[in-house]
Amino acid sequence: MFLWCLEDRNDTIAPEVSLREYDAASARLLLLIESAVFRGFNHGCLCNFYSGANMSSIKKRLAVVLGALLMVSCALPVSDTIQASPAQLDKYNELAALEVVTALEKNVDEARNANMGFLAPGHFSAAAQILSENQRALGNKPKEEIANNAAKADAILEKGRAIMAIVQYRFSQELMLKAKMEEHQTAKFLPEDYEKVIGKFSTLIEKVERKNPENIDQEKDALLKQMLGLVVKSIQEGALRQSEVLNADTRKKNAEAQAPLTFAEAEQIYQDAKNRIAAAHDDQKLVESLSEKALFAAHHAQQINDRVALLQTRLGLQIKAKPAAAGPLSLEQIVLQEEDRLRGIAAALGLKDLRDQPLDRQVEEIKRAIGKAAHQAESEACSVTVQDLNSCLKAFNDSVQHEIAEQAEEDRQKIIKARQMEEQNAHMAEKEAQIKSLEDQIKRLESAARAKKIPKAVKPATTQPQSR
């Protein structure tokens, strides 16, 4: 009787009824049952046998037993308390065995398509299990048994649809965020986080399905925050993943030293886009615009870095650190200057910004546009314009080659001066060594002279004649 009260076999909860009212009614029912049991023991014949102390102990044990019965009732399969109605039995008894299985398959497929597997998983799995058993029982068991099982599966699915309405009402915000997660491919970009959040969501749904939804408000609030965070992250990943990958690849190719200006700009645009998407993730047009800008900047930094690396190889140079703030133009600045000239020509031709493409391809696009303009020219003025553009291109190429040659000559002169300084230093060191060797020889000769101490020769004395 107690279990029957917990799981009504016939009645369902209308979706418009507040689940809190349902929980309160269930709690009042349990209190009534407990009160009735206690009154039976207080006023029945057992009161004459047990003392007051014993009766207190019995009440405590009864409370534990009732709690255990409640937990067991919630763990029971949903199919154990659901019975088919006479109309459902009549529906399947009129059909042949194969028709019974076919009709049940259709009902289960409809439930699957309605997402009952997620919104009422216990009921759906119970019905699907009966369908599987019926499919195996064809030709092996009586048609009456197959029809009765199919009728019970129908009753389970009917109850499952009522549970779905409750879940959709209770978890409307969570289901909306789940749809957004699927729209933005959260399972692809953040698979571990997605599985964790969906697992928590499924647990809460199962609690409602088994009519045990107490104390889930805090869990619901935490789940909403987690799901919203994943939606924002998945939008960011979808919009900026390609830019992030390109920037990471460019960084590995020594961009911070070879093209620090362009690469720093690309990273700043990426970070700004990430922050603005987090603040306005529902603005689809803004997200698309920020994604395009970040991707353009990433491609730009990539092709500038590749161009600088190519020039380094041709000139036999190697850049290991960022160039000094003051000094001659760096290779990156030379490449940016030639890119600016190309950009001006492209703008004059009405072309889009081509800076996200390699310089060689930019030149090809400009040449193609010039050829198209020449083909469409109908007047001398148009022809003059084309010639001017060709002259601009030639002047641009000459200027680039001149600047590269000047840079190469400057680097060569620096290398020659460095070598001359090395030779002078080596020559000076050699002279100093010779001087030191001579000084050492002089010191040795002086020491030897002092050691010999050669005496000076004494002249013989001479006598002067006496005067007369």
**Residue 408 predicted with pLDDT over 50:** yes
Q: Which two tokens stand for residue 311?
A: 């020039």
Output the average pLDDT for the chain. Answer: 79
pTM of this prediction?
Answer: 0.57
Based on the fold, state whether residues 335 and 377 are members of the same structural domain: yes
- List of residues 6+ apart from 9 with CB closer than 8 A: 81, 82, 83
- 265, 279, 277: which is closest to 239 by C-alpha? 277
The pLDDT, as a whole number, for residue 296 is 95
By CB atoms closer than 10 A (0-12, 13-18, 19+), residue 217 is exposed
Based on the fold, state whether residues 6 and 112 are members of the same structural domain: no
Establish if 272 belongs to a structural domain. yes
The pLDDT, as a whole number, for residue 120 is 95
The dihedral built from the CA positions of residue 428, 432, 437 and 439, taken in this order, carries a sign that is positive
Based on the fold, state whether residues 157 and 47 are members of the same structural domain: no
Based on the fold, state whether residues 307 and 338 are members of the same structural domain: no
| Model confidence pLDDT, tens digit, residues 328-349 | 678 888 889 888 888 888 888 8
Sequence letter at residue 51: S
Q: How far, in whole angstroms, is CA 175 from its chain's centroid?
A: 22
Predicted confidence band of residue 276 (pLDDT cuts 50, 70, 90): very high
Based on the fold, state whether residues 143 and 259 are members of the same structural domain: no
Establish if 455 belongs to a structural domain. no
The pLDDT, as a whole number, for residue 80 is 63
Between 462 and 243, where is the model more confident?
Answer: 243
Based on the fold, state whether residues 39 and 119 are members of the same structural domain: no
Residue after which a domain boundary falls, among 149, 170, 191: 170
Establish if 420 belongs to a structural domain. no
Based on the fold, state whether residues 84 and 66 are members of the same structural domain: no
Based on the fold, state whether residues 22 and 92 are members of the same structural domain: no
DSSP per-residue string spanning 124-186: HHHHHHHHHHHHHHTTTS-HHHHHHHHHHHHHHHHHHHHHHHHHHHHTHHHHHHHHHHHHTTH
The pLDDT, as a whole number, for residue 248 is 95
Q: What torsion, rounded to 10 degrees, do the Cα atoms 170, 174, 179, 182 define? A: -140
**Residue 105 predicted with pLDDT over 90:** yes
Residue after which a domain boundary falls, among 43, 76, 109: 76
Residue after which a domain boundary falls, among 256, 288, 314: 314
**Residue 459 predicted with pLDDT over 70:** no
What is the mean pLDDT of the segment spanning 184-201? 93
State how many domains the chain has. Answer: 4
**Residue 116 predicted with pLDDT over 90:** yes
The range of the structural domain enclosing residue 53 comes to 2-76
**Residue 51 predicted with pLDDT over 70:** no
**Residue 19 predicted with pLDDT over 80:** no
